[in-house]
Amino acid sequence: MSKEPDNELIVVSNRVPSPKSSGGSQGGLAVGVMNALQKNEGLWVGWSGEIDENRDAQLNHYEFDSVRFATFPLTETDHQTFYIGFSNEVLWPLFHYRPDKVDYSRENLEGYLRVSQRYARHVATLVEPHSRIWVHDYQLIPLGFYLRQAGINVPIGHFLHTPFPPWDVLRILPDYENLLRYFSAYDVVGFQTKCDLRNFEECMRHGFDATFHDDGTIEAEGRRFRAEAFPISIDLESAQELARQGVESNIGKRMAQSLADRTLVMGVDRLDYSKGIYKRFLAFERLLEKAEHQHGHVVFVQISPPSRTDVPEYAELRTTLERIAGHVNGRFSDYDWTPLRYLNRGYSRESILGFLRLSRVGFLTPLRDGMNLVAKEFVAAQDPEDPGVLVLSHLAGASWELQEGALVCNPYDTEGVADMLDQALNMPLEERKERWQRMMDVMRNNDIHHWCRQFLGALSAVQH
């Protein structure tokens, strides 16, 4: 007898994977949570990606890739204030240690709270006595608080996919006390790394006068909750399988042909200033200056699908990257060699994983990143007999787990990154295999299913 679908696990995030948009532009949240939900029955609630002026629009229920979804549209004003204005012009830069890019207004804060309340109203209609609610990321931090206000008393967890900043950065935000208050409405609060967790604890201590109990719980606002690090990961087997298929696909074969035996260096990131793409291009230019023997032999392919194009910082970055890519190619290209291919569009996950398998170097140098799942996908995608080398920023959450095998660099040190890229390009096969094995061992112990079990296990342990 088949089981009736129930709402035991309700996942809420602003972005849900869209059948229409190409994988690369959706970021790590959509990939990670989709992988997690495919093996766990659950209902995923989020923004439909559409704009509609009807504030009372009902949830649209549908199924896609074996996951059940319930989505609703946002009004233009809500999109402008909640998504663009507060989530992406205040919280995103602040959480990525970039206060210089913060553009705060009270109107946007009000929009942020108004939309969180709207989410709460929708989610409240779905809750059953045995539901557990799992809220994702910086766009929806107040959701737990509003659900509690609506009398919802089931376990609610929050996982932050971005970094969490130190106390002195957080308090740049006017009204930061309320942001901390919202966290205390959850039962379990999850972060990517121990560093994010430490920052959060420091903020709760100094900014909110919370009490830390011996059993590991934090007490604030008359509630006790747990805060822990749960580093997100990927579905290892499915990534390996997709990578093998990707190489054999038409696109994979054409990519290999186009390289004509040249060595491939690959970067894949949403077009975002936190990803350090500009500095990465400079480091590649520096490599070409220093290592003439690489001329004609190395091709750096950077895939950066446009992201958050309505936010001015992102539009500016796009122009800057076009300029520097043109400059590097203008300086070094030859009649039969273009060193830098900058692709400003998304590709299917299968194609991306296939490209990663073809690469000798995964070049991922964010200036700050919650995790960077592409780093883990790069490792999973490799051919065990001839694996590539990961050059990874030490400011990506992934470096905590992958540091034993990756070449870990400081993305601000252009000279150092160029040297590391050179080292990666010259690394002997034996060392490549050893380093890859070390990273795979870590990833086998913490794949997406382990991540999901750990978080939901912590949430299930909550007594109400």
Nearer to ligand G6P, 34 or 380 (CB): 34
Which structure tokens are listed for 227? 């805060």
* H/E stretch holding 218: strand 217-220
Which residue's Cβ has the minimum distance to ligand G6P? 27
Which part of the chain contacts ligand G6P (CB under 6 A), choosing from 26-34, 164-172, 210-218, 296-304? 26-34
Length in residues, the chain: 464
Residue from 28, 93, 366, 387 in contact with ligand G6P (CB under 6 A):
28
Mark 46-85 with x for binding to ligand G6P (rule: CB under 6 A) and - for no binding.
----------------------------------------
Distance CA(434)–CA(57), nearest Å, equals 55
Nearer to ligand G6P, 339 or 346 (CB): 346
Through-space distance between the first and last CA atoms of the chain, rounded to whole angstroms: 31
- In the set 161, 235, 419, 447, the catalytic residue is 161
With 0-12 / 13-18 / 19 or more C-beta atoms within 10 angstroms meaning exposed / middle / buried, residue 319 is: exposed
Which structure tokens are listed for 97? 């240690």
Distance CA(15)–CA(12), nearest Å, equals 9
366 near ligand G6P, judged by CB under 6 A: no
3-class DSSP assignment, residue 312: helix
Residue type (1 letter), 88: N
Mark 291-310 with x for binding to ligand G6P (rule: CB under 6 A) and - for no binding.
----------------xx--
Distance CA(188)–CA(356), nearest Å, equals 35
Which structure tokens are listed for 280? 């990465």
Which part of the chain contacts ligand G6P (CB under 6 A), choosing from 20-28, 193-201, 383-391, 416-424? 20-28
Nearer to ligand G6P, 15 or 368 (CB): 15
We find the least distance from the C-beta atom of residue 26 to ligand G6P, in angstroms, to be 6
193 near ligand G6P, judged by CB under 6 A: no
Interactions with ligand G6P, residue window 303-362 (CB under 6 A): 307-308
Interactions with ligand G6P, residue window 122-151 (CB under 6 A): 137
Which part of the chain contacts ligand G6P (CB under 6 A), choosing from 24-32, 56-64, 105-113, 343-351? 24-32
Residue closest to 207 by CA, chosen among 186, 184, 232? 184
Whether residue 449 lies in the annotated active site: no
The C-alpha angle with vertex 324 and arms to 336 and 413, in degrees rounded to 5, equals 110
Alpha helices in 365-428 (DSSP H): 373-381, 399-402, 414-425
Residue from 15, 132, 349, 432 in contact with ligand G6P (CB under 6 A):
15
- Asked whether the beta carbons of 234 and 373 are under 8 A apart, the reply is yes
Nearer to ligand G6P, 235 or 285 (CB): 235
Mark 157-186 with x for binding to ligand G6P (rule: CB under 6 A) and - for no binding.
----xx------------------------
We find the least distance from the C-beta atom of residue 307 to ligand G6P, in angstroms, to be 5
Lookup result for tokens 């787990």: 401
Whether residue 161 lies in the annotated active site: yes
Residue closest to 280 by CA, chosen among 297, 260, 296, 265? 265
Residue closest to 313 by CA, chosen among 109, 25, 85, 115? 85
Which part of the chain contacts ligand G6P (CB under 6 A), choosing from 25-33, 68-76, 277-285, 339-347? 25-33
Q: Which residues bind ligand G6P (CB under 6 A)?
A: 15, 26-29, 137, 161-162, 307-308
Q: Active-site residues: which are they?
A: 161, 369
